[in-house]
């Protein structure tokens, strides 16, 4: 059958489409900007027809009404990342948090550790061969599509068409819901003096010809702002963000010295502003690949001069990095942090660098300022990146380097880049703990 006829035959309202979800099913969504809001809203509106539907996803940006207390008799939420919509439900015990390295999600789906009965995804309109592009999130989508018994797709005519492991053919989809709504955008990050100083320190570690992974937020954006004078940079990054477009347009990124996927901007999901979404649309330079390729440490390790830059919440004297919990509370998830730390750490050319970049202090809701460099991690906190994987830790006060350093040397390096208001107390802790002069 011609795919155009197939398309017409599968057209549905969102309310009709979500009737294919059955009690007891596990429903997986595309993450981040690939979330299909019309389908999710319809699923929540149809809740009275479900019992025991499990919802699973990675980073999410939507309203997450399925995680509200009044919906817990219909939906079980099992997240692989805590974000603003699910954090409260996880920490109040209504939702489950499942720790998993991002690169392993497709593998867990293949092996049945993660169940996928229904996939809900937002895609671009089909191309002339009948393929829709899952556009802004490749990550686990293609594997989830293989495993799912039912695929519900929101075809949003504003979704860009991105090349790579993104294509879902109309024949694979069970119900198509046409929508036309703006794609979620990330507000531009506020870059202050501290972030600018961090950006400069990080940029000093990036050599021309490096391949970069950068995360989300003010610090990665501040780093990119300081990289405009570099040459022949490449991108192999979990996320492709708006800052990458500016850096590409400045000429600093050309991918010419990449050892794999030469010349391509490689990512597993895309999130930023409208300019970014226009840039990636039908752009042969942009390659969105599945997360078990992009984030696999063995693939990352093949990149020349791989530099990974991520953020954290707390670092202790040993160099143990806490990035996804605040004390006993689950704040986010490991995402790809350890995937990239390990990949850069095992780089085949021996020139990889893993950087944790953070402001030296955090301001709590109470207004109290706390040091992110601490003698001991908070009670109940989980180590995200171990002291064996850690390498550079950058604050606005400089660069601490961990690999090859003893425990005392690590602590001294870290105290040297701590905030002046906390330095004396940290030195006292050092003297007590190590029974040594600072």
* Sites of contact with ligand COA (CB under 6 A): 215-217, 238-239, 310-314, 323-324, 326, 331-332, 335-337, 362-365, 370, 372
Question: Considering 195, 238, 396, 413, which one is annotated as catalytic?
Answer: 238
Collapsed DSSP state (helix, strand, coil) of residue 356: strand
What CA–CA distance (Å, rounded) separates 329 from 194? 26
Nearer to ligand COA, 362 or 427 (CB): 362
Question: Minimum Å distance from CB 37 to ligand COA?
Answer: 22
Q: Are 150 and 117 in contact (CB under 8 A)?
A: yes
What CA–CA distance (Å, rounded) separates 173 from 130? 11
Question: Minimum Å distance from CB 413 to ligand COA?
Answer: 18
Question: Which helix H or strand E contains 414, and what residues bound it?
Answer: helix 407-416
Nearer to ligand COA, 56 or 385 (CB): 385
Question: Minimum Å distance from CB 213 to ligand COA?
Answer: 7
Q: Nearest Cα to 46, choosing from 94, 12, 14, 77?
A: 14
Nearer to ligand COA, 314 or 354 (CB): 314
Collapsed DSSP state (helix, strand, coil) of residue 396: coil
Nearer to ligand COA, 20 or 362 (CB): 362
Largest CA distance in the chain: 79
Q: Are 47 and 75 in contact (CB under 8 A)?
A: yes
Q: Which two tokens stand for residue 342?
A: 């390990």
Nearer to ligand COA, 136 or 150 (CB): 136
Please list the residues that pair with 55 across neighbouring strands. 27, 77
Please list the residues that pair with 175 across neighbouring strands. 152
Residue where the block lists tokens 């350093």:
405
How many C-beta neighbours within 10 Å does residue 367 have?
A: 6
Nearer to ligand COA, 177 or 223 (CB): 223
Question: Minimum Å distance from CB 341 to ligand COA?
Answer: 9
Question: Minimum Å distance from CB 300 to ligand COA?
Answer: 12
Question: Minimum Å distance from CB 241 to ligand COA?
Answer: 9
Residues in the chain: 438
Residue 396 annotated as catalytic:
no
Question: Which helix H or strand E contains 223, and what residues bound it?
Answer: helix 218-225
| Positions marked catalytic | 238
């Amino acid at each position: 059958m011609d795919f155009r006829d197939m398309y017409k035959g599968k057209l549905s309202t969102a309310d009709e489409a979500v009737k294919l979800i059955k009690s007891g099913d596990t429903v997986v969504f595309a993450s981040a900007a690939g979330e299909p809001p019309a389908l999710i809203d319809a699923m929540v509106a149809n809740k009275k027809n479900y019992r025991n539907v499990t919802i699973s996803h990675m980073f999410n940006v939507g309203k997450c009404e399925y995680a509200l207390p009044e919906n817990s008799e219909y939906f079980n939420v099992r997240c692989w990342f805590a974000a603003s919509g699910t954090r409260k439900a996880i920490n109040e015990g209504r939702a489950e948090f499942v720790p998993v390295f991002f690169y392993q999600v497709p593998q867990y789906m293949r092996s049945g550790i993660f169940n996928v009965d229904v996939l809900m995804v937002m895609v671009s309109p089909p191309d002339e061969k009948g393929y829709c592009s899952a556009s802004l999130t490749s990550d686990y989508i293609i594997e989830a599509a293989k495993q799912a018994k039912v695929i519900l797709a929101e075809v949003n005519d504003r979704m860009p068409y991105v090349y790579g492991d993104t294509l879902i053919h109309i024949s694979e989809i069970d119900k198509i819901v046409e929508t036309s709504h703006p794609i979620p955008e990330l507000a531009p990050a506020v870059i202050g003096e501290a972030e600018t100083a961090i950006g400069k320190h990080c940029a000093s570690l990036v050599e021309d010809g490096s391949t970069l992974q950068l995360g989300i937020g003010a610090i990665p954006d501040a780093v990119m702002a300081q990289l405009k004078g570099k040459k022949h940079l490449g991108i192999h990054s979990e996320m492709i963000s708006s800052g990458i477009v500016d850096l590409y347009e400045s000429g600093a990124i050309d991918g010419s010295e990449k050892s794999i996927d030469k010349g391509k901007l490689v990512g597993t999901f895309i999130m930023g502003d409208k300019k970014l979404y226009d840039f990636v649309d039908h752009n042969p330079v942009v390659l969105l690949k599945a997360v078990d390729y992009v984030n696999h440490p063995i693939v990352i390790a093949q990149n020349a001069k791989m530099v990974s830059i991520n953020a954290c919440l707390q670092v202790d004297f040993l160099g143990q990095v806490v990035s996804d919990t605040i004390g006993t509370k689950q704040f986010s998830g490991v995402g790809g942090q350890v995937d990239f730390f390990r990949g850069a750490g095992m780089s085949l050319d021996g020139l990889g660098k893993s950087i944790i970049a953070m402001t030296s202090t955090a301001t709590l809701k109470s207004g109290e300022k706390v040091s992110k460099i601490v003698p001991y991690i908070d009670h109940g906190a989980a180590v995200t990146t171990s002291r064996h994987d850690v390498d550079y830790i950058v604050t606005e006060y400089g660069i601490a380097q961990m690999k090859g350093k003893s425990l005392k040397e690590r602590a001294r390096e870290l105290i040297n880049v701590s905030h002046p208001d906390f330095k004396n107390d940290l030195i006292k802790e050092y003297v007590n703990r190590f029974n040594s002069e600072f």
